[in-house]
Amino acid sequence: MSDLANKLLFLPERASTFADRIDFLHYFVVGTTMVASAGVGLAALFMFFRYRRRVENQATEYVVPNLKTEFLFVSVPLVFFLAWFAIGFRDFTWFTTPPKDSMDVYVMGKQWMWKFSYPEGPNGVNVLHVPANRPVRLLITSRDVIHSFFVPSFRIKMDALPGRYTQAWFEATKPGTYQVLCTEYCGLSHSKMLAEVVVMAPEEYDNWIKEQRRGRLQDRQDALADNSLVPGTARMAEQGQKLAGTQGCLKCHSVDGSQHIGPTFLGMYDRLEHLQDGQNIRVDEAYITQSMMDPGAHIVAGYQNVMPTYQGKLQGPESAAIVEYIKSLRTANVREGASEGPAYDPIQ
């Protein structure tokens, strides 16, 4: 029954406890709206016909409503609207109050990707892993402009504001992959700021997170503990390495420190670059992304403006992967302080 209603209303699959709650009100509200519009429309059509003009200069009766009629006009809609409000506000309160035992994930929006980090690791870009049937609280913020985190199948949405944390929570009910969209206009690639939530069976998730936190990755986390910019999962960097090859980045940028048509990727991340216009810029995610999309914006001193734009050629996740790849090409010597040996496998 409700599956049919969802198909008719084009609602996406219901995959969270909040979705189950909210869809009932949705049917009620949309149903009442359609019945009311049809009711008013049909009543009007009936009257247009019933009271059509029969004689050219037909006069009419002087009709005014009595108090009872006007009272009816006010009270019927008021009762319906207040009922919607009451149910809606109850559900909204439920939505804004995460259970005490929910697990936390930090979400950061930035032009144009979603970064997820778990308090005890790991981190990821554009893929959020969560267990089914466990409440998850999202602590959402933004690094630049306002974004909005939206998962249609969970029916949840919350703005990501710079300098402030907002929260939202959900409890996924079915393992599967669900799309995340950004719903607050955030600039050029707003429509490409997509991510996904991977809902895993609880045991599967426990194994996954254990795997992520174990071994080499954990060492990396420790080694970089003094740096707030923790690299993403190895998977992203590997994907970025492949993309850098297929997209032709490596034709101009070396990865072994040698100078070529463009600056080398090795040790590029977090380096202070001297620009042609005399200014300095710290190479961060924003700068690397900007250089891919608008290469002429800030040119490093000593290089020509010859790089083509990758605007439209790279998807949001792809450019993020390349950034993650460049980040993985950091050498120990760019870090300050005592070294515990190379944090990454040597470059092949």
Partner 1 sequence: MTPSSSIAAPGAAPGHEAHHEHGDHPSYLVDGTTVKSWLLTVDHKRIGIMYMFWVLLFFLVGGIFAMMIRLELLTPGPTIMDAMTYNRTFTLHGVVMIFLFMIPAIPAIFGNFMLPLMLGAKDVAFPRLNLLSLYVYLAGAGFALWGMLNGGLDTGWTFYTPYSAHTTTTVAPVLFGAFIIGFSSILTGMNFIVTAHTMRAPGITWFKMPLFVWALYATSCIQVLATPVIGLLLLLVSAENLFNLGMFDVARGGDPVLFQHLFWFYSHPAVYIMVLPAFGVMSEVVSTFSRKNIFGYRAVAYSSVGIAFVGFFAWGHHMFVSGQSTFDAGIFGALSMLVGVFTAIKVFNWVGTVYKGAVEFTTPFAYFCGFLFFTVFGGMTGIAVATVSLDVPWHDTYFVVAHFHFIMVGATIMAFLAALHYWFPKMFGKTYHEGWGLVSAALIILGFNATFIPQFLLGNAGMPRRYYEYPERFQALNVASTAGASLLAFGFVIIALYLVWALIYGKRVDNPWGSKGYEWLTASPPPTHNFVGPQPTYPEEPHFYVDPKKAEVSDAV
5 interacts with partner 1 by CB under 8 A = no
Instruction: Report the nearest approach of partner 1 to the CB of residue 259 (Å).
Output: 30
Helix or strand run (H / E) with residue 115: strand 113-117
Rounded to whole angstroms, how far apart are CA atoms 112 and 184?
Answer: 12
Question: Residue 1, interface with partner 1 (CB under 8 A)?
Answer: no
Which residue among 189, 233, 289, 319 contacts partner 1 (CB under 8 A)? 189
Q: Tell which one of 190, 271, 298, 335 touches partner 1 (CB under 8 A).
A: 190
Please check whether residue 168 is in contact with residue 155, taking contact to mean a CB–CB distance below 8 angstroms. Answer: no
Region 91-150 residues binding partner 1, contact defined as CB under 8 A: 91-93, 95-97, 144-146, 148, 150
Contact call for residue 227 and partner 1 (CB under 8 A): no
How far apart are the C-alpha atoms of 29 and 80, rounded to whole Å? 9
Residue 300 DSSP label: B
Shortest Å distance, C-beta 44 to partner 1: 5
Closest contact distance (angstroms) between CB of 131 and partner 1 is 22
Say whether residue 20 binds partner 1 (CB under 8 A): no
Q: Are 109 and 143 in contact (CB under 8 A)?
A: yes
- Determine if the peptide bond prior to 112 is cis (ω within 30°): yes
Tokens, residue 312: 């439209």
- Name residues contacting partner 1, limited to 260-319 (CB under 8 A): 311-312
Q: Which is nearer to partner 1, 1 or 64 (CB)?
A: 64
Q: Which is nearer to partner 1, 287 or 344 (CB)?
A: 287
Annotate each residue in 151-180 with x if it binds partner 1 (CB under 8 A) or - if it does not, as one string: -xx-xxxxx-xxxx-x------------x-
Whose Cβ is closer to partner 1: residue 67's or residue 338's? 67
Edge to edge, what strands does the sheet with 113-117 contain?
123-125, 113-117, 103-110, 135-142, 166-171
**Of 47 and 332, which has the nearer Cβ to partner 1?**
47
Number of chain residues interacting with partner 1 (CB under 8 A): 92
User: Rounded to an integer, what distance in angstroms lies between the CA atom of residue 231 and that of residue 63?
Assistant: 76
> Containing H/E element for 199?
strand 195-200
Rounded Cα gap, residues 122 and 346, in angstroms: 22
Site pattern 43..72 for partner 1 (x: CB under 8 A) = xxx-xx--xxxxxxxxxxxxxxxx--xx--
Residue among 184 and 262 whose Cβ is closer to partner 1: 184
- Token pair, residue 30, equals 């949309």
Q: 150 vs 205, which CB is nearer to partner 1?
A: 150
- Least distance in Å: CB of 335 to partner 1? 26
Buried/exposed 21-60: b ≥16 CB within 10 Å, e otherwise: bbbeebbebeebeeeeeeeeeeeeeeeeeeeeeeeeeeee
Report the nearest approach of partner 1 to the CB of residue 276 (Å).
18
Min CB(270)–partner 1 separation in Å: 20
Minimum Å gap between C-beta 2 and partner 1 is 14
What are the distances in angstroms from CA 282 to CA 230, 274, 298? 16, 9, 11
